[in-house]
Structure 1
Amino acid sequence: MKDLISNSIYFGFLISIIGYEIGLLLKKKFKKAFFNPLLVSIIFIISFLLIFQIDYESYYNGAKYLSYLLTPATVCLSIPLYQQLTLLKNNYKAILGGIFSGVLTSLTSILILSKMFALTQEQYITLLPKSITTAIGIGVSEELGGIVTLTVATIILTGILGNILAETICKIFRIQEPVAKGVAIGTSSHAIGTAKAMEIGEIEGAMSSLAIAVAGLITVVAASIYANFI
């Protein structure tokens, strides 16, 4: 049975879809932010691989085909932005200022915490792209000499936390302006957070989609500068 599963090119693909569907069902039933479909699917897949003692390579042979959809899925986020183009033109200064300050806050906080916990430069660089989309973050980590696999893990974790906590944080700090919500969510938690922004509203989703691209571009430049601070 184990050999059959391990050798199947469809195994990784199917187990990923099943895990995500379980997450969707749990979230729909319990209506709790903790039951994030991506988080549930990660826990499900890891548990499945450990129980049946299946190595990661066997899983990834099929799951890698899902990764090919990451870039076109990210590009599709431009559609809601196009629909809110007038709003973008009227607020572009505030939007760009918010994204820029969000990126600098993220990088500066990583710098401060890395110094506090005496991280090595490699570990520090690994964390720098945590708030941008995986497609860009991998390139930044590779170029600067970080640990790419850990970078991917931190990007996913950041996105999941943003997805789970976005609404709560907005309520705590009384952020009610849709544009501000979208910019904050997209800048801090990339595509996974943007999924939550789209659930909140069309404007939030559009601004979050914009923030993903702009924050990614700013981080590419700023991370190369911050990399020299440790």
Structure 2
Amino acid sequence: MQWFFNNEIIVIAFTIVIYFIAEKLQKKTGVFLLNPILVSVVIIISFLSVFNIDYETYHKGSKYIDFLLKPAVVALGVPLYLQLEKIKKQVLPIIISQLVGCIVGVVSVVVIAKLMGASKDIVYSLAPKSVTTPIAIEVSRAVGGIAPLTAAVVIVVGIFGAVFGYVIMKLFGVKNPIAQSLAIGNAAHALGTSRSMDISPNYGAMASIGLILNGVLTALLAPYILKVLSPWIDA
């Protein structure tokens, strides 16, 4: 089966078909746990494991999908632009909420990881968990974390947020659409934003703001937050 995944066209087609089936499955069943991204990941990993295909072979064939992730993130700016007037009226609450979200997101995971006995490099690797992978990796490297671990954690956090984010907010009585979508974008980056796009362009636009602002704020503030907490982390 190695030859199968050495063909880029076959890999792209295989991945798209799996995602298409997963998306149709969720729409037909309405089960929130059947998130298309989560289902696709499980199916593809299972397929690779059963046929003993290493990830490098799959990744080599899927490089064009990886490349398309970058313009896909940029495309999130379209609904953002369409909601610009509404956003201007909410600038101060949006900035404050994202600043708080950034600080709480970094501090909470550091504290929890430290209390559970994680080592210093593990703690630093987890700190940028809620931003997109490229930013998270650079922050992790800058503070002395383990970049591959950070990348894996970011993906897990994004999937968890996309699957459970809106359910958790509903349980805690968070009903305001702006608050919901900003929180998802802040906590679950691009995957959470993608989930918001499925709900409506308005949700997607606000989630995009959360994604962008938290990415910028985390890149700027995370090193300083970790520096302040470092005496406790090193103890």
TM range (shorter): over 0.9
CA distance in 1, matches of 2:175, 2:2: 54
CA deviation digits over 1:18-70, x for unaligned, max 9?
Answer: 32122112212211111111111111111111111111111111112211111
1:167 is matched with 166
1:143 is matched with 142
Decide whether the 8 Å contact of 1:186 with 1:207 is kept in 2: yes
2:110 is matched with 111
CA distance in 1, matches of 2:18, 2:138: 28
Q: Secondary structure at the match of 1:132?
A: coil
Cα 1:98–1:227 change in 2 (3 A) is same
Q: Which moved more, 1:4-13 or 1:214-223?
A: 4-13
Cα 1:7–1:84 change in 2 (3 A) is closer
1:200 CA drift (Å): 2.8
- Structure 1: segments with no counterpart, 5+ residues: none
- Alignment of 1:190 with 2:192, yes or no, is no
CA distance in 2, matches of 1:108, 1:144: 14
Decide whether the 8 Å contact of 1:133 with 1:191 is kept in 2: yes
CA distance in 1, matches of 2:2, 2:183: 46
Decide whether the 8 Å contact of 1:22 with 1:40 is kept in 2: no
- Alignment of 1:57 with 2:56, yes or no, is yes
Decide whether the 8 Å contact of 1:71 with 1:135 is kept in 2: no
- Alignment of 1:4 with 2:27, yes or no, is no
Letter of the 2:170 counterpart? K
Decide whether the 8 Å contact of 2:185 with 2:208 is kept in 1: yes
Q: Secondary structure at the match of 1:33?
A: coil
Q: Secondary structure at the match of 1:69?
A: helix
Decide whether the 8 Å contact of 2:181 with 2:196 is kept in 1: yes
Decide whether the 8 Å contact of 1:15 with 1:45 is kept in 2: no
Decide whether the 8 Å contact of 2:12 with 2:62 is kept in 1: yes
Letter of the 1:211 counterpart? G
CA distance in 2, matches of 1:6, 1:196: 29
CA distance in 2, matches of 1:48, 1:126: 29
1:87 is matched with 86
Question: TM-score, length-normalised on structure 2?
Answer: 0.91
1:66 is matched with 65
CA distance in 2, matches of 1:113, 1:31: 34
RMSD: 1.6
Question: TM-score, length-normalised on structure 1?
Answer: 0.93
Question: 4+ runs of 1 displaced by more than 4 Å?
Answer: none
How many residues align? The count is 229
Letter of the 2:114 counterpart? K
Decide whether the 8 Å contact of 1:194 with 1:209 is kept in 2: yes
Cα 1:93–1:171 change in 2 (3 A) is same
CA distance in 2, matches of 1:91, 1:69: 32
1:130 is matched with 129
Decide whether the 8 Å contact of 2:110 with 2:126 is kept in 1: no
